[in-house]
Structure formats: structure tokens, C-alpha cells
Amino acid sequence: MSAILLTSTDPHPPDCPAFDYETNPRRGALLAMRVEEILIALLRAEIDTRSAVLDAGHYRGEPFRCLQHYRVMVPSDPRVGSPPAAVQHNLTELAAIIRTGLDALDGGPPMSRQDRLRYLIVFTCRAFEVFLRVHPYANGNGHAARLMIWCVLGRYGHWPRRWSVEPRPPDPPYSDLIRRYRDGDKNPLELFVASTLVP
């Protein structure tokens, strides 16, 4: 769960909204409905998956009054939450990873079906973890990262059957898999994502 990190020297304006939709009384119904609409549009190929994973919305650090100095942190992992001034740079690096991965899958050298799927899962998990570590949005980063998994895997016909955008996947093992990946033990998350795919 993201939280604002405020200190007495923090330049973030104190009167900005908290970007906290968890307190909305209709959150469950509204979020579930919107996620369903997006996933249906993905399945119908009504969304350009390449554009969707490369750029969507405004990020922390952009020159908007309530985003420019907006910090986030995840208390259980201090590696999460790039400083606002670094978000755009880190997203440029992430976009390069995504473009390279998509280009290799869209028109790169021929691969066996098995190697292609292995590459797809490795690439998708890498982009997913980097996005979550940067935590570019004021809120909703987990939803956006899980949707990215749907966009990339679905682009190549591998629709997840047990990878939910909302609600968050069960914990355990979800958070532990991400932490282990970040610690260098990548296999468990990759195997978990592979296990969610429709054959």
C-alpha cells in the first residue's frame, strides 16, 4: 500500500488531495466495473496494447502543483518509490525495456514457441517489477502494473486466467514473490505468472 511521505521540509503542498480512493464508499463496485470494462476491451482488441504499456496518464514529478513533489513509499520495502524528480528518467528507462521486449517479440529473430513464451514471461516480469519499484503514480500503481501484465501477455494471445487486476492477487504469495524477485530470486514470480496463463 502506498503512502505519502511528508516531512517538515517537504515542498509538497499540504492542501493537495491525498489521491486516496480506498475511502470512497463505492470503491469496490466502481473499480471492479471499470476493470471489467478495460479487460473486455483488451480481449476485443479495442486497446492498443503497445501504447497502453508505454504511456498512460500523469506521473509524480511532472510540473503539476499536486504531483511535482509528491512522494510515495511502501514501508515494507524502502526500494519502492523513486523520488519525484527521478520518476520521468526512470520511466524513460522502463520504456526502453518495454520497446526492446515488444520489438523482439513483434519482429525479432524467429524463436520456438517455448522460447518465445519463456522470453515473454521473463520480459513481462521485469517490466512489472521495474514499474512497481518506480511507483510513478500517486496511487493505483499496483492496478496499473497488473494491467500491464494483461496487456503484454494478451498481446501475444496468452490471457491470464488467475491474475486479477482487482482485487489484488492473494497475499501470500503476491508480495513475497515481488520482494524475492527484487532480491534476485526471479524464478518464483516468473513461474507464478506462467501458471496463470490460459494454455
Q: Given CA atoms 36, 90, 138, 78 in this order, what sign does their dihedral have?
A: positive
CATH of 3-195, picked from 2.40.50, 1.20.1070, 1.10.3470, 1.10.3290, is 1.10.3290
Q: Is the omega angle on the peptide bond into residue 172 within 30 degrees of 0, that is, cis?
A: yes
Could you give the CA distance from residue 198 to residue 105 in angstroms, rounded to a whole number? 19
In tens, the pLDDT along 17-70 reads 777 777 777 877 888 899 999 999 999 999 999 999 998 789 999 999 999 999
In tens, the pLDDT along 55-113 reads 878 999 999 999 999 999 888 899 999 999 999 999 999 999 999 999 999 998 899 99
Give the domain ranges of the chain: 3-195
**CB pairs under 8 A, 24+ apart, for 30-33?**
31/143, 31/166, 32/166
